[in-house]
Structure 1
Amino acid sequence: MVRRRKDGPVVQADDVETDWAALVLRVRDHQDKAAFAALFRHFAPRVKAFLMKSGADATLAEECAQDVMATLWQKANLFDPARASVATWVFTIARNRRIDALRKARRPEPEELPWGPEPEPDQAEALESQQETDRLGAALAQLPDKQRALIERAFYGDLSHSEIAAETGLPLGTIKSRIRLALDRLRQQMS
């Protein structure tokens, strides 16, 4: 039914006279499929148009509109006519679905994680790694005791220079100098 307002524009009667809140309450209270169908006919195309105007392509807009209407059916109990109109509620859901879709599109794909046991290391690599560890141990043993103790606290104890200074009572500058000298000696012996 089409009605003409006094000021002239043509308006669909169902847009003016339909109590959308009452229809949502019928969906909420009675799972009324006819009420939902009326809501769907009215809001689904408007939601799709809204989403397309906000930059979604037709396929995404259609999927989001379907999701919004499914949410209306499933969560009609969350609608409070005292807080917002049905249109405000529906378009808020649509806006949130659009934001979720944008976030999902921008989210990087997780890297593939290997399943199953780790492959056995190559024997040559394992031997080389063990030899390197042995050389490092021998180089550490040749350091003066004061330098070796600081290196062990810094790297094996995972302490910062400030924490080592607090533990030992040595000045921070002394800690840094000894560690720097020890690292220089280790580099020379390992190369």
Structure 2
Amino acid sequence: MQEDEPTGGDVNAVIQIAEEKKKQQRDSWSARLTSLAETRDKAEFAAIYGYFAPRVKSYIVRLGMPLATAEEVAQEAMLSVWRKAHLFNSTKASASTWIFTLARNLCIDRMRREKAVEYELPEEEPDPDQRDMAEHSVLEERMQVAIASLPESQAQVLHLSYYEGKSHSEIADQLGIPLGSVKSRLRLAFSKLKAHWGEEE
């Protein structure tokens, strides 16, 4: 990279780290669900339940179900995960997509049984991991929050570099600071951002 080249690529690298971590997490849960199908290990199921149950419940509530019913359907969905784990195929869907689809189908069954008012259910896969545009938007929002947590001097040069595309020398001229200070602040900012993303669950 040239000395005065904008450093937006460094921030893109941080976003890429976050995306790779999310993919690794998806792959990890898919592997654990595959393992559950083979071993029927209750500790493995407890881990899957602990992670997905609250997320499934929140998803069902967003579909419009009352909280108490959502709790019941979420538990039904997780029991289905235990009973049907052998049907999971990681080459066709991620664990999260498969589990959310189970939950959605149970919602539809419950509505039909109770002859409830028809809900507006999404036709697409409910798993947020499959929505690239939404994923990018969330990453951008989280990046802005992370940048806002930086000291003002570091956030300022990072904003000018990444969002305005200014070179190091242009930033130095605009802020009236030495070129070395610009580079130092950017290095510190990127170091803190990478540490921030590395600590995300």
State the TM-score, normalized to the length of structure 2. 0.46
State the TM-score, normalized to the length of structure 1. 0.48
- Bigger helix share: 2
The higher radius of gyration belongs to: 1
